[in-house]
């Protein structure tokens, strides 16, 4: 079920069937989402009020940005567990800068956050590529190290909302045509990454690497550069998410984003990106993020014990990868059958 | 080539044990109160859960799989223990039930990985969330205390009048069992064979699925036991017990020289890895080094433990290449 | 692929099951009720006699172990402790975990025992989990003073109570009633469901609300933000969605009240829903000034750490033993009397409003 860059004219049928499957996968999430919203709204109509939808979208925005970055890495058959720590470092860096230099424009904050994250990501990438160390190990290590550095630096400090410039806090709440800026940024990130992955050579190469690293290397793809690039993107997006986090919550300490990696990986996996690389899309990952955030909100509204949330997330991951396996088996069977007709 | 790889591996094992011994000696000589009998007891109690869970984890990783759900299994076992204790069940029933629960949780992992053939990383990240979530569902945010002193005192106590903690018996016995199984039985050879090449192992008559399934069961069982001991040590059953421990366990196992790709590793190295991490933390804490630094040390050690052999290897092969003709691909 | 249970493994598993069933069937064994009271705590050292005139020792090693480091409230508390230890000419030390977990606190207590401290001032993350270690410390001659969140009574020498439970509960209800105009729906946003402090205050609140004077106030929900900023934020959000007629959110925790204020100040609920509870002036200043929060209360946390150091020094010097009725002097705070079960009460909480908030800096 890997989507390598196949010549369009020849294998149009195969592509369309693949597209169908992928779309079906995302359709599944949309349906689950619709059912969830319907049930919650019936029980409490205020769930669909403007404020509530805004809150869910704001929550999703941060998770979705992280999930998009994670999807890019996972597609290349790697994983980035350090995103929560990178988010924390970036949020604290930007928070400190804004406190000391209230004149810093928002765009500057966003760029600095992304740069901090990008550096962390590039370090991950270099260790994975040139150290020949598996991504799981590297990012587990940097998860500890980056968090440690943040604690080291922050000490007991907490940056409170009243220390941050008003313009920055407004950015966390302000809207454009009724849509919060945070959500617009997440959408922008999603669309750009989605288009690059789908329609550009670089994007297809990432899929190829994930499907078969050896074949990708033989095909002349510079696997090293792409690997570092993928981690750089994931890091930069985690850094960007750190700035969004700071703008949304206003209170930043060294623990910001602790444990986020689990939610991010969950969103990506639930969104249909296979952990063994080569398949899935950032759209799915973003939908996964939306679904997870909505579950969190509806549990509170439905007054279901909040303790169920984590168990439900775990169950969803298992369900998602189980379903993917079944679909993959069916698609493989179909392709085999069709393949024997063609050749 | 294969003997070379074996030799390199033995080297890492010897190296990590040597480093551990050096760290212990230096710490005892330079850090006040590190070498006391009482501190030895504290050290053993601190490393107990990591040491226990690292044993089956070693075997799981040698087969090329991973189990990230161990700490959540520990937590669920602890939560269920507290719940049943509140239900006025006798502790003598609760403990075996918690072990059984651990085995069942492990079997669920094993089912997904071996029967459905799903990647263990994704499966156990899923059950990591699921089991921890269930632990909170069972016990909420509350804590259950008042476990019988007979049991809690045994876990925190020492053998007779010595300063050797009782729990060291459990660690030694289990380590011996796992060591013998891994290094001196057909099961151990099968574990290595699967990790090296599952295909080849199958041709050699090994049933990889079955071996892996039972490794997950054992991993769950030992995690359940660790949950019981954790609860008794702190005489407090909580749903968040052991949260994040899986990272420390994986770090210790990899530090011990087990390859994350499977097929390589040895138990003595893993034990050394566990002791190294725990005694470094203990010594740093005694020297008033902040908690933050401990995090950084753990992370750096983890990366270095995998990076160092790779670098050494690269240097060695480049030296060899200079000496001999370039090897054909 | 099918899984068959192989015999060598099936046998021990079956044995475990059979043994556990047999034990249950016999009905024997140790249960919670059969072992109650059997907590294994050593008897308090009542043999020692207090000598109120004993001089305060100098050079005492006093170590603070808060619930977790890097928490602004905790920083203020231990800051007060540092000042007091300086006045006492002692050695001040601050250690603690980054996560509020009981198990990591135990490792730190063990370290402090090894370092032969004279006094440990601890805020327990779990009143029972820290008990065995604290008792080990006391056996080694270390005096244990708990603050903020008490450890079990039988494993500490004294407890610094920030204010009486009754006093705080009453003042919370009084503020809520004033803000609600005497009638309407109110909700509580607490810390964790098992937080000792918060639960006892909420209990007093319930008793107060049951009184005829407060008959028109209705407590609709107690939500838990786990003292986590983000979780508290989300929970405040959930409360306002679920209860459209809500008039007041009472948050008896500094994390909760700040998060709830921040949410309300930026939402359409601003001005319609009042926030009150226990908060830090520095964190709340912005919301008091923008009108989201009219009033809230708190004791001075620095005084807690300050008092704890003096209590610890008095214990170690033999001025007090932790028995009821004993008196000691606590520097600038004046004289204190040990209450029942070793409790030392700091004093009544202060109410903060737009009029006085700028006088406080913590």
Q: Which residue of C has its CA nearest to A153?
A: C70
Q: Which residue of A has its CA nearest to B314?
A: A131
Best of A153, A161, A173 to disrupt the C interface (most C CBs within 10 Å) is A161
For chain C, the distance separating the N- and C-terminal CA atoms, rounded to the nearest angstrom, is: 65
Cβ pairs bridging B and C (under 8 Å): 143
> Domain of C241: which CATH number?
3.40.50.2300
Under DSSP, the state recorded for C273 is: B
Global confidence as pTM = 0.81
Distance (Å, whole) CA A302 – CA A305 = 9
Instruction: Provide the Cα torsion A88, A94, A95, A99; round to 10°.
Output: 160
Average pLDDT value for residue range B185-197: 92
Reference A262, options B67, B111, B244; nearest CA is: B244
Number of domains in chain C: 2
Shortest alpha-carbon distance between residue B314 and chain C (Å): 39
In this predicted structure, the answer to whether residue B2 has a pLDDT above a threshold of 60 is no
Mean pLDDT of chain C: 83
Best of C74, C78, C189, C234 to disrupt the A interface (most A CBs within 10 Å) is C234
Question: Which pLDDT belongs to residue A2?
Answer: 43
Q: Which of A336-340, C21-25, C69-73 bottoms out in mean pLDDT, i.e. has the lowest?
A: C21-25
Shortest alpha-carbon distance between residue C35 and chain A (Å): 30
Are C95 and C112 within 8 A, CB to CB? yes
Residues C281 and C170 reside in one and the same domain: yes
Q: Which domains does chain A have, with CATH numbers?
A: 12-342 (1.10.3470)
Of the two residues C295 and C349, the one the predictor is more confident about is C295
Shortest alpha-carbon distance between residue A223 and chain C (Å): 36
Residue C351, domain member (yes or no): no
B3 touching chain C per CB within 8 A: no
Shortest alpha-carbon distance between residue C2 and chain A (Å): 17
Task: Name the residue range of residue B92's domain.
Answer: 39-280
Best of C129, C196, C253 to disrupt the B interface (most B CBs within 10 Å) is C129
Cα C281 from chain centre: 19
Helix axes C196-209, C165-180, angle to 10 degrees: 60
Share of chain C residues as helix, strand and coil, in percent rounded to the nearest 5: 45, 20, 40
C238 touching chain A per CB within 8 A: yes
In this predicted structure, the answer to whether residue C200 has a pLDDT above a threshold of 50 is yes
Shortest alpha-carbon distance between residue A303 and chain C (Å): 9
Are A25 and A272 within 8 A, CB to CB? yes
Reference C338, options C360, C319, C323, C354; nearest CA is: C323
Contacts of B281 in chain A (CB under 8 A): none
pLDDT > 90: percent of chain C: 28
- Contact call for A310 and B260, based on CB within 8 A: no
Share of chain A residues as helix, strand and coil, in percent rounded to the nearest 5: 75, 0, 20
Q: Which residue of B has its CA nearest to C96?
A: B291
H-helix or E-strand containing C242?
helix C229-242
Phi, psi of C361 (to 5 degrees): -135, 80
Are C153 and C127 within 8 A, CB to CB? no
- Contact call for C262 and A250, based on CB within 8 A: yes
- Contact call for C70 and A155, based on CB within 8 A: yes
Q: Which chains touch A (3 or more CB pairs under 8 A)?
A: B, C
Are C200 and C208 within 8 A, CB to CB? no
Which residues are CB-contacts of A340 (< 8 A; sequence separation ≥ 6)?
Answer: none
Encode C270-303: b = buried (16+ Cβ within 10 Å), e = exposed: eeebbbbbbbbbbbbbbbbeeebbbbbbbbbbbb
Residue C217, domain member (yes or no): yes
Rg (CA), chain B: 21
Are B194 and B212 within 8 A, CB to CB? yes
- Contact call for A51 and C75, based on CB within 8 A: no
Contacts of A269 in chain B (CB under 8 A): 122, 125-126
Are C233 and C242 within 8 A, CB to CB? no
- Contact call for B100 and C226, based on CB within 8 A: no
Task: Name the residue range of residue C292's domain.
Answer: 165-298
Shortest alpha-carbon distance between residue A181 and chain B (Å): 31
Distance (Å, whole) CA C322 – CA C314 = 10
Question: Which pLDDT belongs to residue A157?
Answer: 74
Are C3 and B213 within 8 A, CB to CB? yes
Shortest alpha-carbon distance between residue A47 and chain C (Å): 7
Residue B121, domain member (yes or no): yes
Question: Which pLDDT belongs to residue A340?
Answer: 59
Residue B13, domain member (yes or no): no
Residue B66, domain member (yes or no): yes
Question: Which pLDDT belongs to residue C14?
Answer: 55
In this predicted structure, the answer to whether residue B328 has a pLDDT above a threshold of 80 is no
Residues C201 and C315 reside in one and the same domain: no
Q: Which of B264-278, C65-79, C239-253 bottoms out in mean pLDDT, i.e. has the lowest?
A: C65-79
Reference A6, options A212, A296, A204; nearest CA is: A204
Shortest alpha-carbon distance between residue C223 and chain A (Å): 9
Question: Which pLDDT belongs to residue B76?
Answer: 96
3-state secondary structure of C49: coil
Q: Which of B47-61, B102-116, B186-200, C11-25 bottoms out in mean pLDDT, i.e. has the lowest?
A: C11-25
Reference C191, options C263, C265, C250; nearest CA is: C250
**Cβ count within 10 A of residue A153:** 14
Q: Which of residues 212-241 of B touch A (CB under 8 A)?
A: 239
Which among A151, A156, A249 has the least Cβ separation from residue C230?
A249
Which among A156, A160, A254 has the least Cβ separation from residue C75?
A156
pLDDT per position in chain A (343 positions), as tens?
Answer: 444 444 444 444 445 555 555 566 778 888 888 888 888 888 877 777 777 788 888 889 999 999 999 999 999 888 898 999 999 999 999 999 988 888 888 888 899 999 999 999 999 999 988 887 888 888 888 988 898 888 888 876 778 777 888 888 878 777 777 788 889 999 999 999 988 888 888 888 888 888 888 888 888 888 888 889 999 999 999 999 999 999 888 888 888 888 888 889 889 988 888 877 778 888 989 999 999 888 888 887 777 777 788 888 888 888 888 887 777 777 777 777 766 554 4
Residues C178 and C270 reside in one and the same domain: yes
Distance (Å, whole) CA B108 – CA B104 = 6
Which among A44, A158, A250 has the least Cβ separation from residue C242?
A44
Q: Report DSSP letters for C305-342, one per residue.
A: HHHHHHHHHHHHHTS--S-TT-EEE-GGG-EEE--GGG
Instruction: Strands of C143-196 (E only): list them.
Output: 143-147, 158-161, 184-190
Are A146 and A120 within 8 A, CB to CB? yes
Residue B80, domain member (yes or no): yes
- Contact call for B129 and A131, based on CB within 8 A: no
Quote the longest CA-to-CA distance of chain C: 81
B158 touching chain C per CB within 8 A: no
Shortest alpha-carbon distance between residue B322 and chain C (Å): 49
In angstroms, what CA-CA distances link B8 with B4, B13, B250, B257, B265?
A: 6, 9, 21, 11, 11
3-state secondary structure of C184: strand
Residue C26, domain member (yes or no): no
Residues C174 and C190 reside in one and the same domain: yes
Are C210 and C244 within 8 A, CB to CB? no
Distance (Å, whole) CA B274 – CA C352 = 52
Which among B112, B295, B300 has the least Cβ separation from residue A318?
B112
Which residues are CB-contacts of A291 (< 8 A; sequence separation ≥ 6)?
Answer: A29, A32, A33, A36, A267, A270, A271, A316
SS (H, E, C) chain B: CHHHHHHHHHHHHHHHHHHHHHHHHHHHHHCCCCCCHHHHHHHHHHHHHHHHHHHHHHHHHHCCCCCCCHHHHHHHHHHHHHHHHHCCCCHHHHHHHHHHHHHHHHHHHHHHHHHCCCCHHHHHHHHHHHHHHHHHHHHCCCEECCCCHHHHHHHHCECCCCCCECHHHHHHHHHHHHHHHHHHCHHHHHHHHHHHCHHHHHHCCCCHHHHHHHHHHHHHHHHHHHHHHHHHHCCCEECCCCCCHHHHHHHHHHHCCCCCCCCCCCHHHHHHHHHHHHHHHHHHHHCCCCHHHHHHHHHHHHHHHHHHHHHHHHHHHHHHHHHCCCCCC
Reference C269, options C231, C236, C295; nearest CA is: C236
**Cβ count within 10 A of residue A237:** 32
Contacts of B132 in chain A (CB under 8 A): 310-311, 314
In angstroms, what CA-CA distances link C324 with C135, C148, C327, C330?
A: 20, 20, 9, 17
Reference A273, options A188, A210, A183; nearest CA is: A210
Residues C180 and C280 reside in one and the same domain: yes
Distance (Å, whole) CA C55 – CA C88 = 11
Q: Are strands C184-190 and C217-224 parallel, antiparallel or unpaired?
A: parallel
Instruction: Strands of chain A (E only): list them.
Output: 175-176, 179-180
- Contact call for B292 and C98, based on CB within 8 A: yes
Contacts of B130 in chain A (CB under 8 A): 310-311, 313-315, 317-318
Shortest alpha-carbon distance between residue B111 and chain A (Å): 11
Under DSSP, the state recorded for A252 is: B
Residue B119, domain member (yes or no): yes
Under DSSP, the state recorded for C152 is: P
The residues on A that touch C, with CB distances below 8 Å, are 44, 46-47, 49-52, 55, 59, 151, 154-158, 160-162, 169, 172-173, 249-251, 253-255, 296-297, 300-301, 303, 306
Which among A151, A152, A311 has the least Cβ separation from residue B134?
A311
Q: Which of residues 80-109 of A touch B (CB under 8 A)?
A: none
Residues C180 and C153 reside in one and the same domain: no
Q: Report DSSP letters for C58-104, one per residue.
A: SS-EEEEE-S-SS-HHHHHHHHHHHHHHHHTT-EEEE---SS--HHH
**Cβ count within 10 A of residue A276:** 14
Residues C275 and C176 reside in one and the same domain: yes
Best of B137, B234, B239, B290 to disrupt the C interface (most C CBs within 10 Å) is B234
Question: Which pLDDT belongs to residue B314?
Answer: 76
Distance (Å, whole) CA B113 – CA B69 = 13
Reference A241, options A91, A93, A111, A139; nearest CA is: A91
Distance (Å, whole) CA C250 – CA B292 = 35
Question: In DSSP terms, which residues pair with A176 in a beta bridge?
Answer: A179
Average pLDDT value for residue range C180-204: 86
In this predicted structure, the answer to whether residue C45 has a pLDDT above a threshold of 50 is no
Contacts of B243 in chain C (CB under 8 A): 101
Contacts of C3 in chain B (CB under 8 A): 110-111, 114-115, 209-210, 213
Average pLDDT value for residue range B60-71: 94
Shortest alpha-carbon distance between residue C25 and chain B (Å): 10
In this predicted structure, the answer to whether residue B184 has a pLDDT above a threshold of 60 is yes
In angstroms, what CA-CA distances link A35 with A25, A272, A301, B95, C234?
A: 16, 19, 15, 42, 22
Number of domains in chain B: 1
Best of A275, A307, A329, A332 to disrupt the B interface (most B CBs within 10 Å) is A307
Contacts of C39 in chain B (CB under 8 A): 146, 149
Residues C177 and C284 reside in one and the same domain: yes
- Contact call for A51 and C267, based on CB within 8 A: yes
Shortest alpha-carbon distance between residue A184 and chain C (Å): 19
For chain B, the distance separating the N- and C-terminal CA atoms, rounded to the nearest angstrom, is: 13
Reference A233, options A79, A114, A113, A128; nearest CA is: A114
CA atoms within 13 A on the CB side of C290: 18
Of the two residues C183 and A213, the one the predictor is more confident about is C183
Question: Which pLDDT belongs to residue A18?
Answer: 55
Residue C17, domain member (yes or no): no
Residue B329 burial (10 A CB sphere; 0-12, 13-18, 19+):
exposed
Which residues are CB-contacts of A292 (< 8 A; sequence separation ≥ 6)?
Answer: A63, A263, A266, A267, A270, A313, A316
Question: Which pLDDT belongs to residue C46?
Answer: 47
Contacts of A138 in chain B (CB under 8 A): 303
């Amino acid at each position: 079920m890997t989507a390598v860059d196949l010549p369009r004219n020849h294998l149009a049928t195969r592509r369309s069937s693949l597209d169908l499957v992928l779309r079906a996968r995302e359709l599944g999430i949309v349906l689950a989402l619709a059912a969830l919203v319907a049930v919650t709204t019936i029980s409490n109509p205020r769930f669909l009020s403007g404020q509530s939808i805004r809150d869910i979208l704001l929550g999703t925005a941060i998770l979705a940005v992280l999930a998009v970055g994670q999807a890019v890495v996972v597609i290349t058959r790697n994983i980035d567990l350090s995103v929560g720590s990178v988010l924390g470092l970036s949020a604290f860096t930007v928070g400190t800068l804004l406190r000391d230099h209230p004149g810093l424009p928002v765009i500057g904050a966003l760029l600095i956050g992304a740069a901090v994250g990008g550096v962390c990501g590039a370090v991950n990438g270099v260790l994975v590529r040139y150290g020949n160390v598996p991504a799981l190990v590297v990012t587990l290590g940097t998860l500890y190290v980056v968090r440690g550095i943040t604690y080291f630096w922050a000490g007991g400090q907490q940056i409170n909302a009243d220390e941050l410039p008003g313009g920055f806090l407004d950015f966390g709440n302000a809207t454009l045509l009724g849509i919060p800026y945070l959500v617009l940024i997440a959408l922008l990130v999603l669309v750009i990454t989605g288009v690059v992955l789908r329609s550009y050579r670089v994007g297809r190469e990432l899929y190829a690497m994930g499907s078969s690293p050896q074949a990708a290397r033989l095909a002349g793809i510079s696997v090293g550069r792409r690997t570092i690039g993928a981690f750089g993107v994931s890091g930069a997006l985690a850094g960007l998410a750190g700035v969004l986090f700071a703008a949304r919550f206003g209170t930043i300490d060294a623990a910001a984003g602790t444990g986020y990696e689990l939610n991010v990986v969950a969103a990506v996996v639930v969104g249909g990106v296979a952990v063994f690389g080569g398949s899935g899309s950032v759209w799915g990952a973003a939908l996964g993020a939306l679904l997870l955030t909505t579950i969190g909100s509806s549990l509170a509204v439905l007054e279901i014990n909040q303790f169920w949330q984590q168990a439900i997330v775990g169950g969803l991951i298992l369900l998602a990868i189980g379903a993917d396996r079944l679909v993959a088996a069916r698609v493989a069977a179909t392709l085999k059958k069709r393949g024997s007709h063609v050749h | 080539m294969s003997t070379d790889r074996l030799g390199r591996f033995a080297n890492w094992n010897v190296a990590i044990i040597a480093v551990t011994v050096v760290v212990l000696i230096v710490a005892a000589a330079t850090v006040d109160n590190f070498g006391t009998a009482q501190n030895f007891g504290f050290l053993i109690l601190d490393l107990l859960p990591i040491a226990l869970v690292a044993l089956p984890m070693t075997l799981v990783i040698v087969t090329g799989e991973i189990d990230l759900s161990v700490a959540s299994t520990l937590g669920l076992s602890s939560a269920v223990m507290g719940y049943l204790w509140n239900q006025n069940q006798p502790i003598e029933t609760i403990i075996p039930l918690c072990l059984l629960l651990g085995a069942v949780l492990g079997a669920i992992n094993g089912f997904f990985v071996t029967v459905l053939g799903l990647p263990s990383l994704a499966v156990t990240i899923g059950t990591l969330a699921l089991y921890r979530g269930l632990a909170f569902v069972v016990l909420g945010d509350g804590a259950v205390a008042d476990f019988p002193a007979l049991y809690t005192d045994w876990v925190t106590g020492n053998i007779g009048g010595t300063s050797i903690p009782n729990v060291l018996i459990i660690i030694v016995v289990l380590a011996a069992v796992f060591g013998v199984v891994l290094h001196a039985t057909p099961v151990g050879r099968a574990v290595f064979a699967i990790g090296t090449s599952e295909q080849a192992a199958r041709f050699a008559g090994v049933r990889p699925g079955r071996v892996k399934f039972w490794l997950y069961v054992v991993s769950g069982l030992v995690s359940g036991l660790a949950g019981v001991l954790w609860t008794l040590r702190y005489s407090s059953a909580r749903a968040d017990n052991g949260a994040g421990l899986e990272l420390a366990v994986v770090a210790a196992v990899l530090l011990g020289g087990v390859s994350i790709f499977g097929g390589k590793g040895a138990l003595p190295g893993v034990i050394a890895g566990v002791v190294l991490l725990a005694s470094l933390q203990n010594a740093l804490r005694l020297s008033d080094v902040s908690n933050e630094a401990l995090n950084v040390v753990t992370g750096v050690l983890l990366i270095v433990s995998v990076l160092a052999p790779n670098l050494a290897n690269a240097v060695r092969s480049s030296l060899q290449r200079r000496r001999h003709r370039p090897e054909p691909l | 692929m099918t899984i068959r249970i192989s015999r060598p493994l099936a046998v021990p598993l079956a044995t475990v099951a059979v043994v556990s069933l047999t034990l249950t069937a016999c009905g024997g064994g140790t249960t919670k009720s059969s072992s109650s009271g059997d907590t294994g705590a050593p008897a308090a050292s009542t043999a020692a006699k207090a000598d109120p005139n004993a001089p305060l020792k100098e050079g005492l090693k006093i170590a603070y172990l808060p619930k977790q480091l890097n928490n602004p409230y905790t920083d203020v508390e231990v800051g007060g402790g540092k000042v007091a230890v300086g006045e006492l000419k002692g050695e001040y030390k601050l250690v603690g975990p980054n996560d509020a977990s009981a198990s990591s606190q135990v490792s730190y207590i063990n370290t402090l025992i090894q370092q032969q401290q004279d006094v440990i001032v601890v805020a327990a993350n779990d009143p029972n989990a820290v008990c065995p270690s604290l008792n080990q410390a006391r056996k080694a001659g270390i005096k244990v003073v708990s603050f903020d969140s008490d450890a079990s009574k039988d494993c500490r020498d004294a407890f610094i109570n920030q204010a009486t439970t009754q006093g705080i509960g009453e003042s919370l209800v009084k503020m809520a009633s004033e803000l609600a105009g005497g009638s309407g729906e109110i909700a509580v946003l607490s810390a964790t469901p098992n937080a000792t402090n918060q639960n006892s205050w909420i209990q007093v609140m319930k008793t107060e609300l049951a009184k005829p004077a407060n008959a028109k106030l209705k407590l609709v929900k107690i939500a838990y933000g786990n003292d986590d900023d983000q979780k508290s934020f989300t929970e405040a959000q959930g409360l306002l969605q679920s209860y459209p007629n809500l008039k007041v959110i009472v948050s008896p925790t500094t994390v909760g009240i700040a998060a709830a204020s921040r949410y309300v100040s930026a939402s359409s609920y601003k001005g319609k829903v009042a926030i009150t509870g226990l908060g830090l002036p520095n964190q709340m200043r912005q919301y008091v000034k923008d009108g989201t929060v009219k009033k809230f209360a708190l004791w001075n946390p620095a005084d807690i750490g300050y008092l704890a150091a003096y209590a610890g020094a008095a214990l170690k010097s033999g001025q007090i033993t932790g028995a009821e009725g004993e008196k000691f002097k606590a520097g600038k705070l004046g004289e204190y009397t040990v209450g029942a079960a070793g409790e030392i009460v700091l004093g009544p909480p202060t109410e903060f409003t737009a009029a006085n908030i700028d006088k406080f800096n913590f």
